[in-house]
Amino acid sequence: MNLHDIRMEKLENTMAALEEQIKNANAETTQAQLKEQMDHMHAQLSNMQFTPRSAATEVMGTMVVGGLQSLQTLEKATLWLNDKLKTLNGPCQQGTYMKSPQFQGLLFAKFSSTCERYTAVAMLRSAGLQEGGTRVWATQDLPLLTRARTMFLIGLKWQLTQWGFVRHELNIDDNFRSLVVGEHKVVDVVIENGNIVYTWSPQWGAWSDLQHSEELQLLKDRAAAVLSKGGKGEGKSKSKSKSHGAWAS
């Protein structure tokens, strides 16, 4: 990106110099040649400017904030969010919107990067905010399949910490597909043919107390419920979620 900015700056400086030459040129042929160069450089500059903007759009993270029904409008909710992020010294949002015709307490806020999005979510969660007597929650606006995997993995991580595992040794990969303890995987989670498939390590798959626990079944049910919102038969039956016990730790 730094190299890209340097190239754009050089082009802009050269274009400014050419514009000055056009103003001072006497011969019509010279003016025509300079103008042709200007048009060519304008095209180059336009192409250079398009690429970073497109890339920025692709990596932009979106946060969902709920529990704001008492604020009644998107404008009031946006002012509320800006005030809270400023108070918490958090990142600034780049734009807000809602997905329903009328405001229903859900605010979607865009950030310039996924890192800023994660930071804002973590800050709002840690603050334990309430608005109009309702608890305010925040999360990432993820694709449906990713959301189902994420809900299960985050829930499993939390449950394991409640059972005595060390929190900082439990890690979820960047693509929300697996959970590891230290250097050893616990489970891989994928979506196949509209169903959630859990592939456990031999040790974790053989842990009967975990595999038959109500807590684990509840996590699976919640993930399947999220997946079912996609329609087209995805995750319609909780019984379709599979649990396998073969993989290398």
**pLDDT band at residue 7 under the 50/70/90 scheme:** low
Per-residue confidence (pLDDT) for residue 5, from 0 to 100: 59
Chain centre to alpha carbon of residue 110:
9
Which residue matches tokens 């274009």?
15
Comparing C-alpha atoms, which of 7, 87, 81 is closest to residue 41?
7
**CA dist 88 → 22, 32, 188 (Å):** 53, 57, 35
Q: What is the mean pLDDT of residues 169-183?
A: 89
Strand partners of residue 181: 170, 184
Residue predicted with more confidence, 12 or 170:
170
Burial 130-153 (b: 16+ CB within 10 A, else e): ebeeeebebbbebebbebbbbbbb
Domain ranges, ordered by start, for the chain:
2-58, 61-140, 144-244
Q: What is the CATH number of domain 61-140?
A: 3.30.70.330
Residue predicted with more confidence, 232 or 9:
9
> pLDDT for 37-89, tens place per residue?
666 655 555 544 433 434 334 335 888 898 899 999 999 999 999 999 999 99
Per-residue confidence (pLDDT) for residue 51, from 0 to 100: 38
Q: Looking at the predicted structure, is the pLDDT value of residue 2 above 90?
A: no
8-state DSSP, 102: S
**pLDDT band at residue 241 under the 50/70/90 scheme:** very low
Q: Looking at the predicted structure, is the pLDDT value of residue 25 above 90?
A: no
Q: Which long-range contacts (CB under 8 A, 24 or more apart) does 55-61 make?
A: 56/112, 59/113, 59/114, 60/94, 60/110, 60/111, 60/112, 60/113, 61/110, 61/111, 61/113, 61/114, 61/115, 61/116, 61/117, 61/118, 61/140
**pLDDT band at residue 9 under the 50/70/90 scheme:** low
Per-residue confidence (pLDDT) for residue 197, from 0 to 100: 94
**pLDDT band at residue 215 under the 50/70/90 scheme:** very high
Q: What is the mean pLDDT of residues 237-249?
A: 34
C-alpha to C-alpha distance for 96 and 107, rounded to whole angstroms: 7
Comparing C-alpha atoms, which of 10, 22, 1, 195 is closest to residue 113?
1
> pLDDT for 145-166, tens place per residue?
887 888 899 889 989 999 999 9
Chain centre to alpha carbon of residue 106:
16
Which residue matches tokens 């087209």?
232
Query: Which residues touch 178 (CB under 8 Å, ≥6 apart)?
Result: 153, 172, 185, 186, 187, 188, 189
DSSP sequence for 49-80: HHHHHHHHHHH-EEEEEE--GGG-SHHHHHHH
